[in-house]
């Protein structure tokens, strides 16, 4: 049994989405300041690094992150790879999705506004497949600049959770046991999480 960390670092000054402020760390106590211990203060957008989006992010009166049962954050996951920057229903049909949790390894991008994203019909396909959680390496499932956020709306409306900002470049496609635990913040539309895969080898991949 092997544990694979698929979370992104939360790093000072790093901006995870072009229109959101960067992560800030303040040192309230630090050895360099002559203190005998360290205490830090972290401030960051909720949608930075690896995080889960809860339905209330786009659905008024939808569940907030603390209201979602823990069972939604774990289960057998299928890691798939997509080469396209624009992922549509046709792309998804070729992937033979059969698990309720699907994690997408994506094409690398340099320009922070040019990350891979889903088209509306891809979101509709995932709803039809009765997926319960969709994970992506991109900072958003929607195209940068699309103010209507159609993919977020379709998935969250169907109570499909979204995890953005995963790190999957070191992971082979296949089936794993997936687990992520978002912070228990009250009434918020999402939360940062630590996400891992447990490689059960042939038990899941025959």
Binding residues for Zn ion, per CB under 5 A?
47, 53, 164
In the complex, the smallest distance separating the C-beta of residue 98 from Zn ion, rounded to whole angstroms, is 26
Give the residue with the Cβ less far from Zn ion, 165 or 177: 165
Give the residue with the Cβ less far from Zn ion, 57 or 175: 57
In the complex, the smallest distance separating the C-beta of residue 163 from Zn ion, rounded to whole angstroms, is 9
Interacting residues of 155 by C-beta distance below 8 A, sequence separation 6+: 123, 126, 127, 134, 141, 162
In the complex, the smallest distance separating the C-beta of residue 65 from Zn ion, rounded to whole angstroms, is 11
Give the residue with the Cβ less far from Zn ion, 152 or 175: 152
Q: Which two tokens stand for residue 25?
A: 């760390």
Interacting residues of 101 by C-beta distance below 8 A, sequence separation 6+: 75, 76, 77, 78, 131, 132, 133, 135, 178
Cα 166 from chain centroid (whole Å): 5
* Residue nearest Zn ion (C-beta atom): 47
DSSP 74: E
In the complex, the smallest distance separating the C-beta of residue 49 from Zn ion, rounded to whole angstroms, is 10
In the complex, the smallest distance separating the C-beta of residue 53 from Zn ion, rounded to whole angstroms, is 4
- Tell me the CA distances in angstroms from 141 to 3, 122, 197, one per residue in order: 26, 10, 21
- Tell me the CA distances in angstroms from 90 to 51, 82, 100, 131, 150, one per residue in order: 27, 12, 19, 17, 18
Give the residue with the Cβ less far from Zn ion, 118 or 177: 118
Give the residue with the Cβ less far from Zn ion, 179 or 188: 188
């Amino acid at each position: 049994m092997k544990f694979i960390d698929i979370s992104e670092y939360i790093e000072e000054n790093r901006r995870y989405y072009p229109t959101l402020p960067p992560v800030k760390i303040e040192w309230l106590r630090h050895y360099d300041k002559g203190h005998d211990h360290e205490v830090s203060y972290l401030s960051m957008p909720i949608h930075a690094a690896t995080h889960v989006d809860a339905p209330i992010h786009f659905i008024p009166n939808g569940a907030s992150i603390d209201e979602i049962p823990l069972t939604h954050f774990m289960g057998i996951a299928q890691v798939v790879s997509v080469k396209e920057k624009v992922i549509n229903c046709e792309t998804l049909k070729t992937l033979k999705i059969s698990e309720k949790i699907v994690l997408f390894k994506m094409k690398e991008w340099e320009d922070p506004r040019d990350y891979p994203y889903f088209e509306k019909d891809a979101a509709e396909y995932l709803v039809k497949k009765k997926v319960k959680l969709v994970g992506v390496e991109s900072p958003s499932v929607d195209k940068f600049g699309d103010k209507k956020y159609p993919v977020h709306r379709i998935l969250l409306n169907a109570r499909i959770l979204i995890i953005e900002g995963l790190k999957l470049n070191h992971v082979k496609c296949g089936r794993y046991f997936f687990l992520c635990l978002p912070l228990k913040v009250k009434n918020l539309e999402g939360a940062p999480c630590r996400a891992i895969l447990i490689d059960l080898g042939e038990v899941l991949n025959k």
